[in-house]
Amino acid sequence: MTVFDATKQEDIRKFQNLTLNDTKELISFFTEKLSLGKKLNYDNSSIVEHMTLSSPMQFQKFLVIKKISTPCEWISTMRQLIAVTPDSADRKPVDTGSYTRWNHAYGSVHRGTDPQNRFQSRGNHG
């Protein structure tokens, strides 16, 4: 085995083992996975498939259903999914412009449906 072959095998191993464990690391995961995929001459559909399979399970089903074909579509969709995922609501903003807006909207919805305030009347009745 040549040095080139060993390096390529190492890149393949890195590419296959790189997973998105924390959505706060989305951008670094995306850039590293895309860079390794391009370096290995993988086509976009293979890179997208690996990115999807390396994502947290709660996002995989949406990514598969959407039938994403390009890395650009993938990152855009992931940013949207992270922004609207309820268990992400208490997190600080990620590298996405809409995240904070969704975070505030999600919090408002929950404050507006507080069971103690649900049946309070508005104004004076009596």
Residue pLDDT, tens place only, 60-115? 999 999 989 999 999 999 999 999 987 644 455 554 444 454 445 444 444 444 44
Helices and strands in the chain: count of H runs, count of E runs: 6, 0
Place of tokens 């940013």: 79
- What is the torsion angle, in degrees rounded to the nearest 10, for the CA atoms of residue 51, residue 57, residue 61 and residue 64? 10
Sign for the CA dihedral angle at 78, 81, 82, 87 comes to negative
Place of tokens 């649900």: 118
- For residue 88, give the DSSP letter: G
- List pLDDT tens digits, range 90-101: 455 554 444 454
